[in-house]
Structure formats: structure tokens, C-alpha cells
Structure 1
Amino acid sequence: MTESSNDVSRIHKRYTLTTFTPTSHYVSLAISIAVVCVIAAVSYIDYFKSTDNLFIALPIAVTVLVITQFIDPKILKTEYSKSIHMSAFGNLLWLVTILCGILAAYVFSKPSVLPVYITEGMLLYASFRIAIFTSVLGTKLTTAWIICLLQPLAVFLAFVPTHLWVPMLSDPKAIEYGIVFCVLGSIWTLLSDRIAGSGKLSSTHAFLQAYLAAWTNDDPVPMESLMEKRSEQSKVSTFQILFKTSDKNCRLVIPDLHPGPFHPIGGSNIPYLIYKNLDSSAMVMHSISDHALNLPSKSQVDLYITSLHQNSKIREGSMCTKPVTVQVNKARTTGLLFDKTAVLILSLSPYGMEDIPYHIKSDLEQYGMNRGYERVLIVDSHNAMGKEIEKLDADDLLTAAKSTLDTLITKETLPLEVGYANSENLHFQADDLGPGKVAMMCFKIGGENFFLAWADANNMLNGLREEIANHFSKNGYNFLEICTSDTHYKARTAKNKHGYFEFGSLSKAPDVISWFSDLAKKADHAARPTSYELLKSETQVKVMGGNQLELYSKSLDNAMRITQAFLLITTGFFIYTML
């Protein structure tokens, strides 16, 4: 995995902490109501030692809870669902405090359970609201202090008997505990927001809010604005091999860009946008690139897409060698030679890998020049989940690729026929695919058919590629490879450690094999004598660069360390209050 890919993974890892919220705000609403009822019931039974007014207090408390849940988002200008989720967690904190107070009374043989714990739980909830208001919702600290007691105090007044209001709210210990909790929450807010960014990021919370707006609300504007300001100008090249037939043209596209950083920001869906812009008859491959080459915003994506039709023709022809495949230990390379331009497809499937490091590209390009090639176009097949490529595997990829180049240049060139088929007429839904879905290209060379498969997906489930290849082999097909586009589009949110559904994690292998089998027959039937043109376009666009993602990642890591320290301090003080 490249360094920028590691940074994106760490950013997502921090985001996964927010996935603890229930999938529906209705679940959080039910939790809030149930918890408030338990708070009231336990308070009457164990603290007030009377249940006379309990059944009057319960509906009043629930009504007040629901009303304040409507008031919060109005004041904070936020979504109702966030208010509900916050309420569920805050009330749980309150209940835990009350239950711990009862436990402490029994453990330490206190003569009675002190009502101070009810007040303390209310104020702990208020401090929790301060932290959430400022970090997730972007509220100013002064505003957070003013409204932090809105719901906790309202619910408190709703279920606590009126004659206990003054003594419980004026208890010196309760006030002391509450002030300490709220001050701790405030100090955490200031440190995690300003200090975590190490002076390079003005507000860690602003980044977090923009990230959550994009990830949970599909609102890319705040994040794109933040990222584009820190992006740098770069010249981006895109190579296309345009196959021209009497029936329908199709293309292999190798852009020096990386999809991402995550949906729906910038170029996260760039493979499909390229595919659609090229008449839905293209395979958009993953080049040797990483998240440093992300496009940060829609405006940069539009600029890039426009440039695809402003290209120059470098070479044309109608002959091609038969494909060459070389396996060295885990590493496998498949190559085709078009005149003096080689296309190499690299894979470690089924063992998996992350983005191929740049040194492999530069080494192979130099090796190709030394062997008389005009250019070597390298495709990262991205077809099995894995970790950072180890040196031994990287060396094997280089060895296999160099052996492929050595063999290709000795091969006879033969007339070429190409057929292409996509899944636009296959009516299926797969949430582990991008909108481009799947496609197949058939190369007829020297009386043999060779099939190259493509999926608009973010990587593949380990072993799926082998199941497809085995099926094709058993049915007499020459299967070259399957490549994914590494799209960062998401059809729905994935609450897992990856942040996305790799192809095959939702789609079943028999279905996938059926899709590609159908496409192979269509591509074979569509194959026609072909001429090709090698096209190149260059565009000046802003790319994110590796330092930007590193900054965000380190800032969130620092914020997490500060958070962990304050959780320990707060927990320690909480235990002290129980004593």
C-alpha cells in the first residue's frame, strides 16, 4: 500500500467510530424514550424511595424529550437525525451514572443512595453535548455552553418531583462535578480542534465536519473546497488505445489519475465518468497511481473529462501479437504488443495487493526503452484484496513483467479483430459495483480468441478472479485477466473496516460468472477486423498530492490521542465521584 493509501485508510478508520450510531434515527428515538423511562423509574425506586407520581412523570418526561429533540436541530441548524442519535448516547451516559451511583452505594455500604448522582448524570450529559456540538456540528463553544443544558435540564425538571428541584440543583458536589465535566469537555474541544492540526490545519473539527457531510449526507462542497485550496497543479497524461471496427469502436483507457479519495468527493467516480464520456464503450484501467493523484473537486473533474477529446494520435496500426502470460511465484503479468507499444497487466491474485509502487513503473519503462519499445503502458489489475506489496512480491512482479517484455518482442504480429460488450442490457443490481458495472473485450488473433474482463469496482474479493478464470478455462476460453477500475463510488454506505464493498463481497460468484459468460459470447459475436489508434492527451489539473492526505490523517490521529487522554481523565474523575 502506498503512503497516501495508508493515510486514506487511517482517515476512514477514524470515521468508523461514528458508525456506532444506529442505522435509523427511529432506533435512536426508541432507545432515547426507553432510557429516559428507565432513568425515571430507577430514580423513583432507588433514589426517591416512592413510586407515587412515577406514572405521571413518565409521559411528561417522554413528551419533554421529544419536544427538545425537535428544538435542538432548529437552534443548531443540523439534521433531526443527528439530534436523535446524540440524545440516545447522552441519555445512556446519564443512566450509566445513575446505575453506578446505586452500585457505589451498595459496594461502599452507604446508608442511602445520594440524589447527587442524578444531577451529576444530567451534567455529564451536558458536557457530552458540548463536545458533540463543537466537534461534529460546528457550534461555537460559547453557544454550546448556553444550550448544553437544554434537553438534560428539561427532562430532569419533567420527572424529578418539584420539591426536590432546588436541593438537587444547588447541591455543591453536583455543581462541582458538573463544572469539572463541562470544563474538561471544553478543554478537549480547544485542544483537539487547534492543537491536533499542528498549526498546519486551522481546524481539525472543520475537516471532520466536512468529511461527515460528504460521507453521510452526500454533500461534497465543504470537503472539495477544503481540498482544492491545498491541491497543486500537475500535468496529467491519459493514454487510449482506440479500436476501430466497421460496427462499434471501443477503447482501453489508462489515465495517470487515481479514483478517490472517497465518494462523493472529486474524482471518486472518475472511471465511470470517463466510461460514459467515451460512449460507454471503454475499459478504464487502474494505472500505477495512488491517492496523491486524486482530483479534489468536481470543477477539476470536469476540466479533465473535457480534455479527453483533445488528444493527439501517436501511432496507428492493425496488427498485434498474441498475449503472453508469465507467472513468477505469486506474481503474474499478461502482456500484449501493439507495434512498439506494450500493454502489461500486473496481478498478485489471489494473494492480493494494494496500489503498485511507482518504482515498478519507472523500472519497467526504462527496461522497455532499453529493449527497443517506444512505450510500456502498465495496468494495475487491482483484482484481489491485500496489504502493502512486500519487496519479494514487488521483485517477482518486475521479473515477470521483464520476462513478458522479453517474450513479446520476439512474437509475430498478426491481424487483429476486437469485439466489445458491456452490461447495459444485462438487468441486474449489484451494490459492490460502480455504475459502469462490467464489460468484456474479445481479441481474435491468429485464429484464437482471448478475453479481457473489466469491472467498475473497488478491488475484488480474493479468489473470485480464479473462479471466473477456471470457468472460462473449462469451457475452452482463453481468459487473460479481469481488472477493476478501483472506483471509489459507493452505492450504499459500507460499515466495515474498508469503507467499501469489494466486488464479490455482495455479488455471488455464480452470478458474476454468468454475467461475464454472457458478455464473452456477445463480445465474440461482435468481433470484427480492427485497426487501432494510440491516443495521448495531457491536461493541467489540480491533484491532491500526498502531503494533503498525510496532514488530515495525522491531525485526526493527534485528535484521537488527545481524546483518549481526556477519556482517561474524565473516567478517572467519574470514578472519584462514585467514591
Structure 2
Amino acid sequence: MVIGVLALSQLIDTRFTRKKEYSKSLHASLFGNMLWIAVILMGLLASVVLAKETSLFFVTYGMFLFASFRIGIFTTTLGASIKKAWAICMVQPLAMFLIMIPSDMWYSTLTNPLAIGFGAIFLIIASVWSVLTDRAGRPGMESTHKTIQAYLASQGNDFTEAEAIIEQRSFKTKVSTSQIRLSASDGNMKFRMVLPEIHPGPYHPVGGSNIPYLMYKNLESSAMIMHSISDHSLNLPSKNEVENYLKNLDSSIVKEEGLMCTEPVTVQINKARVTGLLFGNNPLLFLSLSPHGMEDIPNYMKKEIEQYAKNRNYVRTLIVDCHNAMGEEISKEDGEDMLKAAKSCLDSLITKDSYPIEFGYANSDSMDVWTEDLAMGGLGVVCLKINGKKFFLGWADANNMENGVREKIVENFAKQGRQLLEICTSDTHYAPVKARNRNGYYQLGLITGADKLTKWFLQIAYEAESKVSSAKFEILENEADVKVMGQGIYEDYSKALDKSLKLTKGFMIGSVTLFIITLFL
């Protein structure tokens, strides 16, 4: 009979939830019943330890705690209003109670003043907690609970609510996208290195989380989508904005073209490493702290490097954040070293002779390279032949790299007599699987390992090398009007989360203390 009541009451519960999902009602029932059982067991344990006579007090008391839990779960994750939560909170626990307890004991147990009194207190506590946590993000966030519900829905691939909430807070702005397009003289091969000002994110599957792959496919799978100097404030909030951005890329304008490029220059100052090439009078810089790692390079560094380059009469400076090792926000010392290395690289490039460009490109599209730490764009390698020397540049559609993996692959390339300048990642926020770790994703090399990645990269590099032919370069620029998330939304979310957690901690401490007191009554 209890099983039958559970099934029926769970169906009733679904009518009070926004998504009408039976699985959610099932989980709410499971955790609520576990709480009820825990209360009864702790009551029995207290009776034994304190040598008290056992009674049905904790059965009735647990029923009210079960109902209090249902108020919290229905308002936070199931989308019910506080009124609906009150209407439904007692249905399942009371129905189970009436079946489990003999009818001749109903009156004595349900009229126990202590059970009713403490039960009512917990119902009020749950209601107050629910109201306060829902308002924790105001005025920046209208409803904390709706945001939680939208996030949970997005994890089931229903991203419409999350995007709608984010897009309400987003604003229009101009974002630029720079490209270096290499075209073989025989017209058989083209390759683009793309530096979008936007940032992948905010998280899979919302907004522009998978935009590196979408751009890669949009450019006929012959491109490397680099991580430029940008952060999450430049996330595209919705699929509509992603489509708008991608369509606008077709109107990119050729700003300069040429046939000559310098050999690469690498400057290392302490942890900071900058590798640069000069296409005509347009320097391309790759910035990295690998194997030490860092978060996104801050925008002030981009501005300072660009101003320095402008003072040296460079036309336009293209800067890539290699994003190839895990780390915290860049320190002041490392930032200063990176700026010095970038400036030194720019100074060196001025003195270098330029030579005709040859290139070859290949990717992993025809290979079986699926792995949990690699996204849909796979791997790519471009081989640049300058002044008779071959230089390789690797790319992965991945969210960062495991520390030290880049160095192992570079070393393995060197053993094969090939110079791998850098391996860059796209910083995609697409997740092929749900990662059960603090980061929420698997960085490249964590699952696959350096040896297997080396094998794949070398295979692609051999193919790219076999395709090398003379080419010209073109510098393309594009500006698009799109909505971006901005920084304020993250600050509001962070404040709401912090305040909600503090409220929850305070209410939890108070509730546990009150429950412990009842064990001694």
C-alpha cells in the first residue's frame, strides 16, 4: 500500500512542477524518505542512549521534517511557488503516515503537541529560507531559484530558459575578428587562423559554448580557431547571437596581402614565452606560460602590446593566448615578464629578413581521435616552410591543456627532427561528457596522455608537411554588432550564490541545533 501511495503521490507531485517531470518527483520522494528514516533512527538511538521509552513521536516529527524538505525542493529546483509548495508538501508524507500507523493511533500521534509544535517551526524555517534565498540576488538577479532551475534544465539540453535569462542582461557591442588566410598558389588549398574577440562560453550547451567548432565547420574545416585576448564578459548569450556572428563573418574585408614572412622568433623570460612571426608588417604573437599555466590573459596586456607595436610602426598586431596549461590568474611578476618578452619579440622581428611563404595544413577529421578531453573540432597542424626551414604549429579544439603535456609533445617532435613552435587550444566550453571534477571539464592530455597525443599530432604533421606549397597571405578584418554577456552578470551571479550559501549555512546550523535539542526532550 505504501508503494502504491508513493507512486500515486509522485504523479500528483508532477502536476505541481513546471516541467511535469516524473523523474524529479521520484528523486524528491527518495531524498525526503531518506530524511524521514534518518530522523526515526536518530530518535531510536537517542531513546536507547538516554534510556527513554520509545514512542511514535519521531515518526510524526519526521513526517513534518519530510514536508519541510519538500517545501525547499519544490520551490528551488522544481519551480513551484511557495503557495503551491505549501499545498503539496504534506500530501505524500501524510498519506504514508496514515497507511503505516494503525488508525486507532492516528489521533494520539497527530495531536502530539511537541511533534506539531516543532514540526510547524521547521515548516516555517523552510518557507523563510526559500523566500530569502530566492531574493538573495536582488536587485541584479530577480529570482535565484529561476536561475537554478534554468541551469538544471540546460544540463538536460533544454537551454532556452538559461539563454533567455542571460540575454535579458546582455548588451549590444561591436566585436572584431581578425584572420590570417593562407592560400596555395595553385588554388588547391586554403587555411585560416582566426582570432575572434568573443570568448567561448558561458557553459555547455548555452550560448557560444561550442563556437570554435561552429566557426571551424563554417570555414570548411580548414582553420584554427585561436583563443584571443578575451574573457567571459565577451560570451555570446544565445544561439541566435551565435548565428548572427557566424553570418557576419562572411563579410570579412581583406586589409592586406603579401607573399613574405619572417622566420619565427621565440623569447623566453623566466616563465613567460612569446613566439612571433611577421607577415608583411603584421606581427603574429603567441603568448604562453606553459608548463606553469594561467587563466585568460587580461585585456590591459593586449592594449600595452598593441601600443608598443604601434610605436614601432607595425600595421596591426595579432595576439594569441595559447591557453595550453592550467593555472590561476596571471601574477604581476609573470605579467611583467610576458610584456617584456612580447616587446623583445617585436623588437627582434623588425630586424629579421622576410622570405616567401610555403605552407601545408592537415587535420584529424579522417582519424579516430574521439576522447573525453577533446571537443568536436579535433586536432590540426599547419606546416610553415620559410627560408627552407619547416616549422609546425599545433591546434586542438579543447578547453586548455594538462600542465607539461605541451612540453612532452614538443620534445617528441624534436626527436623526429621537427620543430613544433606551439600547441594552442580553442578554450571551447563544449563538453563531450559530463566531467565529475571541480573544473567541470577535462583539459587536453588529462585523459588522453602526451604519448597518444604525440602520435596523433605527428601523423597530422606528416600529412601537412606532404602538402607544402608556395602561398600568399591575406589579413582579414571583420566587425559585428552582437550581444555579449558583460562582466556585471557574473558579479551578480557570484553575489547571489555567496549570499544563498551563507543563508543556507546559517539556517542549516540553526535547524541541526534545534533537532538535536528535540532528541533530549
Please, what TM-score do these two structures have when normalized by structure 1? 0.88
Aligned to 1:43: none
The residue that corresponds to 1:233 in the other structure is 172
What RMSD, in angstroms, separates the aligned Cα atoms of the two structures? Answer: 1.2
Please report how far the alpha carbon of residue 428 of structure 1 lies from its aligned counterpart in structure 2 after TM superposition.
Answer: 2.8
Partner of 1:96: 38
- Determine whether 1:218 maps to 2:130: no
Corresponding residue of 1:201:
141
Which letter does structure 1 place at the counterpart of 2:174? K
2:467 is equivalent to residue 532 of structure 1: no
Tell me the amino acid that sits aligned with residue 516 of structure 1. F
Query: Contact 2:57–2:112 (CA<8 Å) still a contact in 1?
Result: yes
1:16-165 correspondence runs (5 A)? 60-76=1-17, 77-110=19-52, 112-165=53-106
Range with bigger deviation, 477-486 or 561-570: 561-570
- Residue 444 of structure 1 corresponds to 385
The amino acid across from 1:237 in the alignment is S
What is the rounded CA distance, in whole Å, between the counterparts of 2:162 and 2:15 in structure 1? 24
User: 1:141-174 deviations in whole A, cap 9, x for unaligned?
Assistant: 1111111122222222232233222221221111
Using the alignment, how far apart are the partners of 2:415 and 2:21 within structure 1?
55
Q: Secondary structure at the match of 1:577?
A: helix
Aligned residue for 1:409, secondary structure, equals helix
Q: CA deviation at 1:70?
A: 3.8
> Counterpart amino acid of 1:275?
Y
Aligned twin of 1:295: 236
Match of 1:304 in 2: 245
**Residue 390 (structure 1) aligns with:** 331
Residue 400 (1) aligns with residue 341 (2): yes
Take 2:450 and 2:13, find their aligned partners in 1: how far apart are those partners? 47
In 2, the alpha carbon distance for the partners of 1:395 and 1:199 equals 38
Trace 1:366-445 onto structure 2 (pairs within 5 A). 366-445=307-386
| Deviation of 1:109 (Å) | 2.2
Q: Deviation at 1:494?
A: 1.4
3-state SS of paired residue (1:253): strand
Q: Secondary structure at the match of 1:335?
A: strand
Letter in 1 for 2:367: L
Q: Distance in 1 between matches of 2:177 and 2:403?
A: 29
More helix by share: 1
Structure 2 equivalent of residue 468 of structure 1: 409
Distance 1:427 1:159 in 2: 58
- Displacement of 1:104 after TM fit? 1.6
**What TM-score results when the alignment is normalised by the length of structure 2?**
0.97
Deviations 1:184-236 (A, max 9, x none): 00001111111x1132221111111111111x211111111111111111110
Q: Is 1:481 aligned to 2:422, yes or no?
A: yes
Q: 1:242 maps to what in 2?
A: 181
Deviation digits for residues 386-433 of structure 1 (CA, Å, limit 9, x no counterpart): 111111111111111111111111111001111111111002321211
- Residue 314 of structure 1 is aligned with which of 255, 269, 275? 255
SS in 2 for 1:530: strand
User: How far apart, CA to CA, are the structure 2 residues paired with 1:151 and 1:94?
Assistant: 12
**Conservation of the 8 A alpha-carbon contact between 2:60 and 2:109:** yes
1:204 alignment partner AA = T
Match among 292, 295, 301 for residue 354 of structure 1:
295
Per the TM alignment, residue 351 of structure 1 is displaced from its structure 2 partner at its CA by 0.7
Q: CA deviation at 1:341?
A: 0.6
| 2:16–2:84 contact (8 Å) kept in structure 1 | no
Q: Which amino acid aligns with 2:48?
A: Y
Say if 2:265 and 2:345, in contact at 8 Å, map to a contact too. Answer: yes
1:284 to 217, 225, 247: 225
Aligned length: 517
Tell me by how many angstroms 1:122 deviates: 1.3
Provide the rounded CA distance (Å) in 1 between the counterparts of 2:240 and 2:313.
40
> Which segment drifts farther, 76-85 or 101-110?
76-85
**Residues 509-564 of structure 1 deviation map (CA, whole Å, 9 limit, x = unaligned):** 22211110110001001111110110000001111100111111111111111111
**1:544-563 equivalences in 2 (<5 Å):** 544-563=485-504
**Residue 106 of structure 1: CA displacement?**
2.3
Structure 1 unaligned residues grouped into runs of 5+: 1-59
Q: Does 1:498 align with 2:435?
A: no
Corresponding position of 1:42 = none
**1:85, distance to aligned residue in structure 2 (A):** 2.2
* SS class of match (1:289): coil
Provide the rounded CA distance (Å) in 2 between the counterparts of 1:75 and 1:440.
Answer: 54
3-state DSSP of counterpart to 2:351: coil
Cα offsets for 1:253-303 (capped at 9, x unmatched)? 001010001011111111111111111100000000000000111111111
Provide the C-alpha distance between the structure 1 equivalents of 2:92 and 2:364, rounded to a whole number of angstroms.
53
Paired with 2:369 and 2:375, the residues of 1 have a C-alpha distance of 12
Distance across 2 between alignment mates of 1:345 and 1:79:
49
SS in 2 for 1:139: coil
* Residues 318-364 of structure 1: per-residue CA shift (max 9 Å, x gap): 11001111111111111111011111011111111000011110110
Alignment-mate amino acid for residue 429 of structure 1: W
2:340 aligned counterpart, secondary structure: helix
* AA of the residue aligned to 2:82: L
SS at match of 1:299: helix
Residue 514 of structure 2 corresponds to residue 573 of structure 1: yes
Q: Which runs of 5+ in 2 are unaligned?
A: none
Bigger shift: residues 151-160 or 290-299: 151-160
